[in-house]
Amino acid sequence: MKKIRLFEIALISILFTCLIKSAYSQTNTDADWKMDVKDSTEYDIDFISYWKYVKPYSLLITNDSIIVNNNRNDPILIPTDLIINQENYYESNINDTVYKLIVKRVNYTNIEYSIEGKLKNESVFTREGIAILESSFHLGAEGVYEKSEDEIYGMNDYNIKINEQGEIKLLVPVGTDEIIDYVEQQGESKIYLSFKKIEKK
């Protein structure tokens, strides 16, 4: 009986040691894992943090490419239809109010924007700030721009503000810079402006 008991204790001890080593190894793996971001100033900090979910697979974010598990042949591409550091001008007309939108992509994820609405040359609506590419943009388009039956573009969210009351965002198509939509929904209030690109005046 003593021999059997000693055998059981030894077996339990070995199993416990194996479990500790496994947990320690896993902890070290998690601690050692890190993403490779070539230039963190080119991306919003929350956008970078989101991609930690791919752990333990390797991750490289460089220029407009997100490379998971070293799959360089099939990277996730960040949209770059808006030329970096170049102002783009858009206009929307609703009733007698003329809305003008100016956007500039300042890095791979962030867009500076300003909107002014004028009614009979009097400013009646102003907005400005930073819109940030939705981190999960690769999972599917949030909207559609249907230019024609044969020309349809998915649209990505560039978030300005999200809270319990609603959201404020830009919808930017992938593959063209012809239009941009502005959506502002806070509680019962909703503003939807669809802008078309114009030449600078």
| pLDDT tier at 50, thresholds 50, 70, 90 | very high
The verdict on 188 and 97 lying in the same domain is yes
Q: Give the chain's domain count.
A: 3
The verdict on 22 and 58 lying in the same domain is no
The verdict on 95 and 117 lying in the same domain is yes
The verdict on 21 and 37 lying in the same domain is no
The verdict on 121 and 71 lying in the same domain is no
Distance CA 174, CA 141 (A): 9
Q: Coil, strand or helix: which one is 7?
A: helix
Distance CA 36, CA 69 (A): 12
What mean pLDDT comes out for the span 179-200? 93
The pair phi, psi for residue 75, each rounded to 5°, is -75, 160
Q: Sheet containing 59-62: which strands, arranged edge to edge?
A: 36-37, 59-62, 65-68, 76-77
Asked whether the beta carbons of 120 and 129 are under 8 A apart, the reply is no
The verdict on 165 and 72 lying in the same domain is no
Instruction: Quote the pLDDT of residue 200.
Output: 81
pLDDT in tens, 96-121: 999 999 999 999 999 999 999 999 99
The verdict on 47 and 25 lying in the same domain is no
| pLDDT tier at 31, thresholds 50, 70, 90 | low
The verdict on 128 and 160 lying in the same domain is yes
**Better-predicted residue by pLDDT, 76 or 17:** 76
Tell me, yes or no, if the pTM score tops 0.75: yes
Q: What is the mean pLDDT of the chain?
A: 86
The verdict on 155 and 185 lying in the same domain is yes
The verdict on 176 and 98 lying in the same domain is yes
Percent of the chain with pLDDT strictly greater than 70:
84
Range of the domain at 57: 33-78
The verdict on 38 and 17 lying in the same domain is no
- Among residues 50, 78, 106, the one where a domain terminates is 78
pLDDT of 49 higher than 60: yes
- Among residues 78, 113, 144, the one where a domain terminates is 78
Residue 58: closest CA among 49, 47, 50, 67: 67
The verdict on 165 and 185 lying in the same domain is yes
Distance CA 168, CA 76 (A): 25
Residue 175: closest CA among 65, 82, 73, 63: 82
